[in-house]
């Protein structure tokens, strides 16, 4: 436990040092000759027009958050693919015993040559591991698809909602039959 805490402390201290060292070095080494041109705001090489304090459309943030949410799931595929791939290799009946021991050591995170013979993963255990992995990934994809369908239905993926709403209104009015105008006029007697 002390070894783990020591490593964590060392990592934090080195992280802080590596963050502060360039900042402090830049503070002392950079030239201090500000000019009007150097103090102006820089916008892609173009002179600034108007105030730089504008309110961005919230759709930028929504799309960015959705990208992060749906992109992070890729990180979960790597450990799953390693376990599933190792499990499917262990299902092969032509697998030799030394290869089975080596794959079992890799799946169980054991050092090479340290796995006892009774801990080697059998074909039946590998079958259960593969089926569990398959069910796990199917549930994972189902949750992602439900989330994607919810976001799509809610309209968060429609970039221009006003145009989308207008097109929905046009399609609704096209589907409704036109209202018939009545030309029946009530005639009044003339005196």
Q: Quick check: is 180 in a domain?
A: no
Q: Quick check: is 188 in a domain?
A: no
Q: Are 103 and 90 in contact, with CB atoms under 8 Å apart?
A: yes
Domain boundaries, position 71: 13-158
Q: Quick check: is 7 in a domain?
A: no
In the chain, the N- to C-terminal Cα span, in Å, equals: 111
Half-sphere exposure of 99 (CA within 13 A, CB side): 11
Q: Quick check: is 46 in a domain?
A: yes
Residue 54's SS3 state is: coil
Res. 155: pLDDT tops 90: no
Q: Quick check: is 152 in a domain?
A: yes
Domain total of the chain: 1
Four-residue CA torsion sign, 162, 166, 169, 171:
negative
Q: Which two tokens stand for residue 50?
A: 């108007």
Of 85, 74, 77, the C-alpha closest to 136 is 77
pLDDT given at position 40: 73
Q: Quick check: is 70 in a domain?
A: yes
pLDDT, tens only, 40-85: 766 666 666 777 677 777 777 878 888 888 788 888 888 888 889 9
Q: Quick check: is 182 in a domain?
A: no
Half-sphere exposure of 109 (CA within 13 A, CB side): 3
Q: Quick check: is 166 in a domain?
A: no
Element (H, E) at 174: helix 161-175
């Amino acid at each position: 436990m002390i070894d783990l805490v020591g490593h964590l402390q060392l990592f934090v201290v080195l992280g802080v040092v590596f963050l502060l060292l360039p900042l402090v070095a830049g503070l002392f080494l950079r030239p201090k000759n500000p000019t009007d041109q150097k103090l102006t705001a820089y916008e892609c090489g173009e002179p600034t027009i108007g105030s730089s304090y504008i309110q961005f459309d919230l759709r930028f943030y929504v799309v960015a958050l959705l990208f992060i949410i749906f992109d992070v799931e890729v990180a979960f595929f790597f450990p799953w693919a390693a376990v599933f791939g190792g499990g499917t290799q262990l299902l092969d009946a032509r697998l030799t015993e030394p290869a089975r021991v080596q794959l079992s050591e890799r799946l169980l995170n054991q050092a090479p040559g340290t796995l006892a013979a009774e801990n080697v993963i059998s074909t039946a255990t590998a079958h259960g591991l593969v089926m569990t992995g398959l069910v796990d990934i199917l549930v994972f994809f189902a949750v992602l698809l439900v989330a994607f369908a919810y976001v799509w239905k809610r309209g968060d993926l429609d970039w221009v909602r006003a145009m989308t709403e207008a097109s929905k209104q046009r399609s609704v009015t096209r589907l409704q039959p036109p209202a018939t105008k009545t030309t029946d006029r009530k005639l009044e007697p003339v005196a």
